Amino acid sequence: MDRASVVIFSLVAAGTAAILTQSTSWRARARRRVAPPERRAAPRPSAALVWRELVDRIGSSVPANAKDLPRLKRRLIRAGFRDPATARFFQGARAVSAALCGVLGLLAVWKADWNVLVAPAAAMTGYLAAGQWLMFRIGRRRHAIERGLPNALDLMVICVESGLGIDQATMQVARELQHAHPEIADEFSVMNLELRGGKRRAEALHNLADRTGVDDMRKLVAVLVQTDRFGTSIAQSLRGHADYLRTLARQRAEERAAKLAIKLVFPIFFCVLPSLFVVTIGPVMTRLIRDLLPAIENM
């Protein structure tokens, strides 16, 4: 009887404690809901955000040529910048770079007494430096797409042979290659979004080739468009094109290896041979001068 009383008392105490704890948590949540929002201190703007805002405003004030703006946007897209405000920011960065280089040129003219033409030449160099940086980004991204395209085709062949359609295959390839080849995954994701938006497959594929600017991607788009038009086997066409791309990459590597001997002529002639002559002929000439000069003086 005593054990039963202890058990009943323990159960009642535990239930009472659980009810009190739950009611306390409910009361605390109710207080938080009706309490006024806490005032937080405004975050301090960082130097990077201030600089970005300044360059963006300068780009907005710089007049843009209507003919060059579409070409600039196409180049920015090929470099991987798809934000519509990137063109304005790029123009501002180019103007700021030209102004800073021009100021440095004026300081060089004033302090070092250089030619006056140094200032406009420096400003022009700063203006062209942004364009050269953009072309470098385009070339690097294009090379990354060319390098990862055969692997993407092999994975697409596996997806198509497993029963997926071309749209689902490109989506799966974009998901799988997100870390290995993010450039190709990004382009395939944009193409899938265009297809979901209602564009025809041929138009989305042509937009893919135009965004990348890669010849191998244009050939792949032509193969896919012809396959879709004539109803041939997609897997067989993709496998043949993947073999073609790998053969083409091997031929390019062999071509570069054949050109390597010619490219090494000038470094060898101007860098290696002078040091080799100093090491081999230097001691001999030193001994000849040391031994012959006393003999000539004694004669």
Q: What is the pLDDT of residue 41?
A: 47
Please give the class, per CATH, of domain 142-261.
Answer: mainly alpha
Q: What is the pLDDT of residue 1?
A: 46
Cα–Cα distance, 217 to 204 (Å, whole number): 13
Q: What percent of the chain has pLDDT over 70?
A: 78
Which residue would you say has higher pLDDT here, 127 or 298?
A: 127
CB 105 within 8 A of CB 118: yes
Structure tokens given for 228: 């879709």
pLDDT in tens, 105-143: 888 888 877 777 888 888 898 889 988 999 999 999 999
pLDDT in tens, 167-195: 888 889 999 888 888 999 999 999 998 98
Confidence of residue 245 (pLDDT cuts 50, 70, 90): confident
Confidence of residue 34 (pLDDT cuts 50, 70, 90): low
In the chain, where the domains are located: 49-138, 142-261
Cα–Cα distance, 190 to 179 (Å, whole number): 16
pLDDT in tens, 3-18: 555 556 565 566 666 6
Give residue for tokens 């364009």.
131
| Torsion of Cα atoms, 82 then 87 then 88 then 91, to 10° | 150
pTM of the model: 0.70
pLDDT in tens, 61-110: 776 676 778 888 889 888 888 888 888 888 888 888 888 888 888 888 88
| Torsion of Cα atoms, 135 then 138 then 140 then 143, to 10° | -130
User: What is the CB-side half-sphere exposure of residue 228 using CA atoms within 13 A?
Assistant: 15
Q: What is the pLDDT of residue 26?
A: 57
Q: What is the pLDDT of residue 46?
A: 59
First CA to last CA distance, the chain: 137
Query: Which DSSP string corresponds to 87-140?
Result: HHHHHHHHHHHHHHHHHHHHHHHHHH---TTHHHHHHHHHHHHHHHHHHHHHHH
